[in-house]
Amino acid sequence: MAAAEDPAHVRFLQLALEETAKCTPVSTAFCVGCVIVDPSGTGPHVVSTGYSRELPGNTHAEANALAKLPEHAGHYGLDLYTTLEPCSVRMSGLQPCAEGIVQSGRVKRVFIGVGEPDDFVKCDGAKYLLDHGVEVVWVKDLEEQCLSEARRGH
């Protein structure tokens, strides 16, 4: 797993952090933000965003951003920025985010702000992504802020 220090990656993760501010805090789940970026063309640009519980049904940020992703936004090679490691298991029975990212077939790299703590379940989302051919990059310098936002409401 690589580490990202490029200011552009930090900037996109900061946009994902802005998405977390839209989350309604609850004691039983994390507040997470996600931004999907198309790195091709005239320069990297945001094509979708999401945050925890944005859409009905106890939804997660990554799943929401993928659900809102326009068809014209590229078929492969997208970058996904998430403030918290994508989940690898859901107690609700819904599809884990890491699995959804892989199944979308559109995401090449996932940039993560901080690993998911074991507050609710043991998470192996980064490993799942790597095992299924998705590059995982840890963005440095925002870990504390990402974790603080994730636990807002706990």
The residues carrying an active-site annotation are 62
Per-residue tokens: 61: 């940020």
Cβ-defined contacts of 39-44 (< 8 Å, 24+): 39/77, 39/78, 39/79, 40/74, 40/77, 44/8, 44/12, 44/79
Residue with tokens 């931004």: 35
